[in-house]
Chain A
Amino acid sequence: MTVSIRIPTPLRPYTDGEPSVAVEATTVGGALNFLTTAHPDLSKHLRNEHGKLRSFVNVYLGDEDIRFLNAEDTPLTDGAELTIVPSIAGGVA
């Protein structure tokens, strides 16, 4: 099924400036993999060297944090909207 992933400003340089990317997937993890296959430079910003989602990057399905759902195994329905929300500090990072 087709779902959309909203890309935050700090990560848009890795999606050719696109604020939203449509992917085909049945789970949250599958959607993220689809995204990083299409945009490989994004991978290291989302996952650590062990392939785990980084702890300063949150992913929301609708308005719910996937950490409080079934994490990357959370199933998706057609038209679902995922949002990536990285931590931002302002000023000197």
Chain B
Amino acid sequence: MTLPDLSREEIARYSRHLILDEVGMEGQRRLKGASVLCIGTGGLGSPLLMYLAAAGVGRIGIVDFDVVDASNLQRQVLHGTSTVGIAKVQSAAQRIADLNPHVQIDIFEEALTSENALRIFEPYDVVVDGTDNFPTRYLVNDACVILGKPNVYGSIFKFEGQASVFNYQGGPNYRDLYPEPPPPGLVPSCAEGGVLGILPGVIGCIQATETLKILLGRGDTLSGRLLLYDAMAMSFRELKLRKDPTLAPITELIDYQQFCGVPANDHDQDHSQVDEPFQRIDVLAARDRLNSGWKPYVLDVRGASEAEIVRFTWADRLQPHGDVADIANDLPRDRDILVHCKMGGRSAKACAALADIGFPADRLFNLDGGIVGWAERIDPSMPSY
């Protein structure tokens, strides 16, 4: 393959790379001739895309279907206050074009699926996984294995991160590390558990470093190694990663939502079809009933940090949803109990747990929409988060 030449402007821009023996003119031309696909433009994608663009990777594809939200800006530094409300891929493309106009940007404003993944991945040299959910991680992995492309992996939780390079030069892939995903609900999400904003910055920069090394053919990559980062301890550890010979070969893409046990259309689920051991009440109906004299015991099942952001002054008790059974003896048996969390998911679990230990279904009410729904639809003076 003949490498593209650098223009006079590009030589000036990349001079600090060009004087590095390990990059030099040839390496920089390699980067210009290279293409990288980044799945996700969030916390991991932010530093990753900016550094890859700044480094002069010639062609960068970005896949995301989300819209920039104010709560993203604590960590997703690719976006800004001026782009809140617009598509993340558009916001990202604007920022990258400003950073380095020599980069060709391909925009995929769509969710990555088993139907489109192989088509989208096909033209790229390296795929970088900056996603935030298990179904997409397995999809990215399997598509990379099928197409023989390296998959630069990074993942985060609260204060801890993981990084590796999968499917590179015959090395192990994500399934060798974790053959199966956890069932939904067993692992708390970042929306529930929170994340230190700088954490994806550190892990995303490691992914960008590994991507550049692969493109340059230089150094020792994380292939065959899992890097663990603990921001609180400020420690890095390295574990060995091997191919698992007992695993079936990956030959086709599957239904990853089903594989990960996620209901096909979670948010539109019709709860009336499900026989639940508690009642559901939305925020508007709850307000109306409360205004007309309903006096339920109100149980907030969020964490203490969340209650510090915003709480109902009329809540009776705060107890995290996983531990509601511990306070069963303190809860009234002869009154309705209205259980709420941020959006209504954890409180439904808490209701089910209380039903399990004998609270009658006609006494348990889940506040659908949660305190954030209340803030949005009833009391806009309340902060949302």
Sample of 29 A–B contacts (CB below 8 Å) = A8-B160, A9-B157, A9-B160, A9-B230, A10-B158, A10-B188, A13-B322, A44-B186, A56-B178, A56-B180, A56-B181, A58-B177, A60-B240, A63-B237, A65-B242, A67-B244, A87-B177, A87-B181, A88-B156, A88-B162, A89-B181, A89-B187, A90-B132, A90-B156, A90-B157, A90-B190, A91-B189, A93-B184, A93-B186
A19 to B159, CA, bound (A): 12
- Give complex CA distance A93, B322 in Å: 16
Q: How many residues of B contact A (CB 8 A)?
A: 44
Chain B residues with CB under 8 Å of chain A are: 42-44, 131-134, 137, 155-160, 162, 177-182, 184-191, 193, 195, 200, 226, 228, 230, 233, 237-242, 244, 322
> Can you add 4 more A-B contacts, CB < 8 Å, to A87-B181, A89-B187?
A8-B160, A87-B178, A91-B189, A93-B185
Given contacts A63-B239, A88-B162, A93 and B226 within 8 Å (CB-CB): no
Given contacts A63-B240, A65-B239, contact A86 B182 (CB under 8 A): yes
Residue of B159, B184, B186, B188 with most partner-chain A CB within 10 A: B186
B239 touches A93 (CB 8 A): no
Decide if B239 touches A86 in the complex (CB within 8 Å): no
B-contacting residues of A (Cβ < 8 Å)? 8-10, 13, 19, 44-45, 54-56, 58, 60, 63-65, 67-68, 83, 85-93
Please, which residues of chain B bring their CB within 8 A of the CB of A10? 157-158, 187-188, 193
A92 and B177 form a contact (CB under 8 A): no
Interfacial chain B residues near A88, Cβ < 8 Å:
155-157, 160, 162, 187
Query: How far does the alpha carbon of A51 sit from the alpha carbon of B296 in the complex, in Å?
Result: 41
In contact, A58 and B178 (Cβ under 8 angstroms): yes
B44, B180, B187: the one within 8 Å of A86 (CB): B187
Given A88-B160, A90-B200, A92-B133, A55 and B242 touching (CB < 8 A)?
no
Per the bound structure, the CA–CA distance linking A44 and B185 in Å amounts to 12
- Which A residues are CB-close (under 8 A) to B228? 83, 85
The CA of A86 and the CA of B137, in the complex, are separated in Å by 15
Q: With the chains together, A9 CA to B229 CA distance in Å?
A: 11
What distance in Å separates the Cβ of B131 from its nearest Cβ neighbour in chain A? 7
Q: How far is the CA of A83 from the CA of B235 in the complex (A)?
A: 14
A13 to chain B: which residues have CB within 8 Å? 322
